[in-house]
Amino acid sequence: MRLSRSFLPTLKENPTEAQITSHRLMLRAGLIRQTAAGIYAWLPAGLRVLRNIANIVRHEQDAIGAQEMLMPTIQSADLWKRSGRYDAYGPEMLRIRDRHERDMLFGPTNEEMITDLFGQVVKSYKELPQVLYHIQWKFRDEVRPRFGVMRGREFYMKDAYSFDMDYASAVDTYRRMMLAYLRTFQRLGVRAIPMLADTGPIGGELSHEFLILAPTGESGVFFDSALEEQDWLAEDVDITDRQSLEKFFTRMTSFYAATDEKHDEAAWAQVPAGRRREGRGIEVGHIFHFGRKYTESMDIAISGPDGAPLYPEMGSYGIGVSRLVAAIIEASHDENGIIWPESVAPFKAAIINLKSGDAVCDGICEKLYAAAPDLLLYDDRSERAGAKFADADLMGHPWQLIVGPRGAKEGKVEIKNRRTGERTEDTVEGALALVLKNHG
Amino acid sequence: MRLSRSFLPTLKENPTEAQITSHRLMLRAGLIRQTAAGIYAWLPAGLRVLRNIANIVRHEQDAIGAQEMLMPTIQSADLWKRSGRYDAYGPEMLRIRDRHERDMLFGPTNEEMITDLFGQVVKSYKELPQVLYHIQWKFRDEVRPRFGVMRGREFYMKDAYSFDMDYASAVDTYRRMMLAYLRTFQRLGVRAIPMLADTGPIGGELSHEFLILAPTGESGVFFDSALEEQDWLAEDVDITDRQSLEKFFTRMTSFYAATDEKHDEAAWAQVPAGRRREGRGIEVGHIFHFGRKYTESMDIAISGPDGAPLYPEMGSYGIGVSRLVAAIIEASHDENGIIWPESVAPFKAAIINLKSGDAVCDGICEKLYAAAPDLLLYDDRSERAGAKFADADLMGHPWQLIVGPRGAKEGKVEIKNRRTGERTEDTVEGALALVLKNHG
């Protein structure tokens, strides 16, 4: 994309309405603009990050056999009356009356709808397990929306739902999802620590939440640093084998990790002193097993092995996709701006032309840009160098390809790594090979 | 995907609630399920079609320099009061009151929001033209939702908005968009005929709608068959050159095409008799130029060449993505089911195992499936052959790869083309090369 013609407005000043770093940086880097309290438009660069995150989430859900579908945003109140949650949910639910005076709502979650659809489609225990997910906009009418997309009202979320014939099988599914989550966060370039959680209003027996470490996190966290050092992508788990899943899960849960609510001083004392980490965390995912709560309350039974009605065991599994954009920034920035992990960055690199209008500089910049116009942001504006550097740092591209008259004469490009600040020099081909190395 | 474990429920019987072919076939082929009046969940196969269509739309928008962003579904009523449309819009607008008693609405379209965002970001005529689009769920509270997703309430739409400094430049943008639309529909495997249209409640001076020919279409259409024979993908247009755009547009509009509302018998008589086509059409796209209607009413001015305030010329450009799923089916089916164009099909081919459990048949099926598990649907159910053939025809995969004991012994696969019914035989490698030929 050429910056001179793009809808990527950076701001030099800190917007006064933003109280936390990620909100400030998302506004300043031109990722979002507020359109109503707690509701945001995603500008082109912001949408790219959102989509990169969603694609990684999707890939890891698919890898454990979850099937993607898409449920609507507007739901009938009748569905929620069947489960008994319509009255219980409170004012966070955006209640709507349509032109025929029917009670509707903007879905904050989809347990009722998926359970109803499951009941229409699945007839026998032989079709289990089923894991279904969607990535869809949801709405929670927060009384005080704040911190940008961190606590917005309209938010983008992946929610998965599982149906198993018995508890043991549901536990297998839960463990597969745990592995998928650990891999998802690792691929996103952040560490999210899984913590044993209370099951809260959804109810249930087995639950973990995933927290990204950041000083602005809403919860205090205590964990064994060994958790940060695991390579879940390399973890050898046969997801079709119960023992293999159990072995993985036992090892993973053997490392101490707890939020302040669940913190246990006696267990904490058992963690080797050098591995004790304390900090704050932002919740970006939550997985629950809740058994037959919805299948029973909504009377969704299928045919069991003995022919008798069987109420499947369920779980639900959320990842806050739009919230992750903010959480990753909270965890990965410096005083100059965002530092995007390569996997989610809106652009792999900025091309910074230090002398726009100079034939040699322009030629090298165009050559770089032509190699991957969709992955590179060419700063072709007639701004001074300082402004271009500042914007590139602010927007957080993993690399900067700096083209000035001196190097250009020799066909050389200066390459800056945003995270380390390290600078090297290379040919056009060498520079492109480096910044596009993770791209086919 | 393995059919035995997938959430792809086919129905043998015609659902009584469905009045038109596409609605019946979408339910029977397991693409959608209704969750409330005029509101649908997209099951995995349906979502794949929706996404394939959206990706083609996106690609052709990007090709003319439009920038993708994403606006929220919920809008503030204040925005609509500024343009004066809040009161004018009528009961199709889903009006919502949030917990603080603020008037909100579920966006049926985004002229106001994009104009406001544009005004926040763009300051000078030098940054024009700007073309911005998003693909987002919208809501129109139809009094009688019917015909499935053809006239649903919650629907998926691409809407683009353009900003130009003067009328001549706005006409260039309009013509670029016309070309993008013609290419989009051609790539979708259908012909959509562009018709001069009334500008309707949005207002404006230049407008075309795009209709897919189908007997169930809501409008009568009259057109020159030469329009169907153009290859817009091969059309040589330099989209940066005004004269080239004009030449293309003049040629395109030289062919007669009109809906019954605009039909002109005198002009029709000039079309060579052998090229006169009459039929019915389903509207799937609509492009408008409407000038300064919103920039003036909302007072969004930028700095013009002479330093004076300039109110940009606007256009808007819609494609009904969810409606297209139904429209394509209306245009492409037979008595046995859907016939998907290859570019939008949920799966490239079904693998039909005529003897599940037979080691040789299973082996060949697994080999086929392993080549592209994400693009192929393996019917591994223990159903009789007739049921598998019927479901494959119903679901409309472009190809069927049929593996029976006799051919399997010789390593052969029977290949059926869904559209022509033609059957050939080939090796596993030959069959895969054929059905995956349009895939990298």
A241 and A360 both lie in a single domain: no
Whether B404 is in a domain gets the answer yes
Distance between CA atoms of A392 and A417, rounded to whole angstroms? 11
A325 and A387 both lie in a single domain: no
Which chain B residues are Cβ-neighbours of A36 within 8 angstroms? 72, 74-76, 104
Angle between helices A359-371 and A428-435 (to 10 degrees): 40
Q: Is the dihedral of CA B86, B87, B92, B93 positive or negative?
A: positive
Q: Which stretches does DSSP call E strand in B83-185? A: 94-97, 103-106, 130-139, 154-164
Tokens of A104: 């509707």
Whether B64 is in a domain gets the answer yes
**What ipTM did this prediction achieve?**
0.96
pLDDT over 70 (residue B164): yes
A231 φ, ψ (degrees, to nearest 5): -105, 90
Nearest to A436 by CA among A397, A391, A395, A379: A397
Residue ranges of alpha helices (H) inside B64-156 are 77-83, 85-88, 111-121
Which residue stretches of chain A have pLDDT < 70? 199-205, 440
CB atoms within 10 A of CB A209: 23
**Contact predicate A160/A316, CB 8 Å:** yes
Determine how β-strand A257-259 pairs with β-strand A302-303: unpaired
pLDDT over 70 (residue B205): no
Residue with tokens 């913590």: A195
B121 vs A33: CB contact, 8 Å cut-off? yes
Which chain A residues are Cβ-neighbours of B9 within 8 angstroms? 120-121
Q: Is A371 at the interface with chain B, CB within 8 A?
A: no
B407 φ, ψ (degrees, to nearest 5): -65, -40
Whether B329 is in a domain gets the answer yes
CA distance A238 to chain B (A): 18
B151 and B208 both lie in a single domain: yes
Whether A440 is in a domain gets the answer no
pTM: 0.97
* Cβ pairs A/B, distance under 8 A: 158
Question: What's the Rg (C-alpha) of chain B?
Answer: 24
A326 and A381 both lie in a single domain: no
Nearest to A253 by CA among A229, A286, A227: A227
Whether B277 is in a domain gets the answer yes
Q: Is B11 at the interface with chain A, CB within 8 A?
A: no
Q: Is B251 at the interface with chain A, CB within 8 A?
A: no
Mean pLDDT, to the nearest integer, of B302-316? 96
How would you class B94 by CB atoms within 10 Å of its CB: exposed for 0-12, middle for 13-18, buried for 19 or more? buried
Q: What pLDDT shows up at residue A440?
A: 53
> What are the CA-CA distances from residue A111 to residues A132, A181, A298, B82 (Å)?
11, 20, 11, 39
**Contact predicate B255/B226, CB 8 Å:** yes
Closest chain B residue to A4 measured between Cα atoms?
A: B127
Determine how β-strand B337-338 pairs with β-strand A399-403: unpaired
Distance between CA atoms of B155 and A190, rounded to whole angstroms? 35
Residue with tokens 């910056």: A3
Write out B233-290 in H/E/C secondary structure: CCCCCCCCCHHHHHHHHHHHHHCCEEEHHHCCHHHHHHCCHHHEEEEEEEEEEEEEEE
Distance between CA atoms of A297 and A320, rounded to whole angstroms? 27
- b/e sequence A30-59, b meaning 16+ C-beta within 10 Å: bbbbbbbbbbbbbbbbbbbbbbbbbebbbe
Residues of chain A numbered 173-202 and touching chain B (CB < 8 Å): none
Nearest to B109 by CA among B91, B129, B128, B89: B89
Distance between CA atoms of B396 and B416, rounded to whole angstroms? 12
Q: What pLDDT shows up at residue B34?
A: 97
Residue with tokens 């079609």: B49
- Among A310, A337, A364, the domain boundary falls at A337
Whether the bond into A405 is cis, omega within 30 of 0: no
Q: Is B36 at the interface with chain A, CB within 8 A?
A: yes
B216 and B330 both lie in a single domain: yes
- Among B316, B337, B358, the domain boundary falls at B337
**Contact predicate B226/B162, CB 8 Å:** no
Question: What's the Rg (C-alpha) of chain A?
Answer: 24
Provide the edge-to-edge strand list for the sheet that holds B412-417. Answer: B376-379, B349-353, B399-403, B412-417, B423-427
A141 vs B104: CB contact, 8 Å cut-off? no
**Contact predicate B91/A99, CB 8 Å:** yes
Q: Is A79 at the interface with chain B, CB within 8 A?
A: yes
Residues of chain B numbered 90-109 and touching chain A (CB < 8 Å): 91, 94, 96, 98-99, 102, 104, 106
For position B161, which CATH number holds?
Answer: 3.30.930.10
Q: What pLDDT shows up at residue A191?
A: 87
pLDDT over 70 (residue B202): no
Query: Which domain range does residue A39 map to?
Result: 3-337
CB atoms within 10 A of CB A204: 18
Q: What pLDDT shows up at residue A199?
A: 62
Mean pLDDT, to the nearest integer, of B95-116? 97
Distance between CA atoms of B299 and A270, rounded to whole angstroms? 66
> Running DSSP on this structure, what letter comes out for residue A14?
P
Which chain A residues are Cβ-neighbours of B130 within 8 angstroms? 5, 7
Nearest to A396 by CA among A350, A352, A437, A343: A350
Tokens of B168: 């001549």
User: What is the biggest distance separating any 2 CA atoms in chain B, rounded to whole angstroms?
Assistant: 81
Distance between CA atoms of A263 and A358, rounded to whole angstroms? 62
End-to-end Cα distance, chain A: 19
A176 and A257 both lie in a single domain: yes
Mean pLDDT, to the nearest integer, of B56-71? 98
B166 and B254 both lie in a single domain: yes
A97 and A157 both lie in a single domain: yes
**Contact predicate A210/A180, CB 8 Å:** no
**pLDDT tens for each residue of B233-286:** 999 999 999 999 999 999 999 999 999 888 999 999 999 999 999 999 999 999
**Contact predicate B149/B36, CB 8 Å:** no
CB atoms within 10 A of CB A301: 15
A98 vs B96: CB contact, 8 Å cut-off? no
Distance between CA atoms of A204 and A200, rounded to whole angstroms? 8
CA distance A71 to chain B (A): 4
C-alpha dihedral (A203, A204, A206, A210), degrees to nearest 10 = -20
A9 vs B91: CB contact, 8 Å cut-off? no
**Contact predicate B25/B329, CB 8 Å:** yes
Q: What pLDDT shows up at residue A201?
A: 54
> What are the CA-CA distances from residue B352 to residues A65, A186, B436 (Å)?
21, 38, 16
Q: Is A43 at the interface with chain B, CB within 8 A?
A: yes
Write out B177-210 in H/E/C secondary structure: HHHHHHHHHHHCCCCEEEEECCCHHHCCCEEEEE
Tokens of A263: 């913190």
What's the mean per-residue pLDDT of chain B? 95
Q: What pLDDT shows up at residue A202?
A: 52
- b/e sequence A139-173, b meaning 16+ C-beta within 10 Å: bbbbeebebbbbbbbbbbbbbbbbbbbeeebbbbb
A291 and A421 both lie in a single domain: no
Distance between CA atoms of A237 and A63, rounded to whole angstroms? 12
Whether B440 is in a domain gets the answer no
- Among A295, A314, A337, the domain boundary falls at A337
**Contact predicate B18/B24, CB 8 Å:** yes
B35 vs A79: CB contact, 8 Å cut-off? yes
CB atoms within 10 A of CB B53: 26
**Contact predicate B22/B147, CB 8 Å:** yes
A250 and A379 both lie in a single domain: no
Whether B342 is in a domain gets the answer no
Q: What pLDDT shows up at residue A248?
A: 97
**Contact predicate B7/B22, CB 8 Å:** no
A268 and A160 both lie in a single domain: yes
Residue with tokens 């904050």: A108
B330 and B369 both lie in a single domain: no
> How many structural domains are present in chain B?
2
For position B376, which CATH number holds?
Answer: 3.40.50.800
Distance between CA atoms of A38 and A326, rounded to whole angstroms? 14
**Contact predicate A41/B71, CB 8 Å:** yes
Residue A106 makes CB contacts below 8 A (sequence gap 6+) with A73, A74, A75, A93, A94, A96, A138, A139, B73, B74, B96, B106
**pLDDT tens for each residue of A75-124:** 999 999 999 999 999 999 999 999 999 999 999 999 999 999 999 999 99
Whether A342 is in a domain gets the answer no
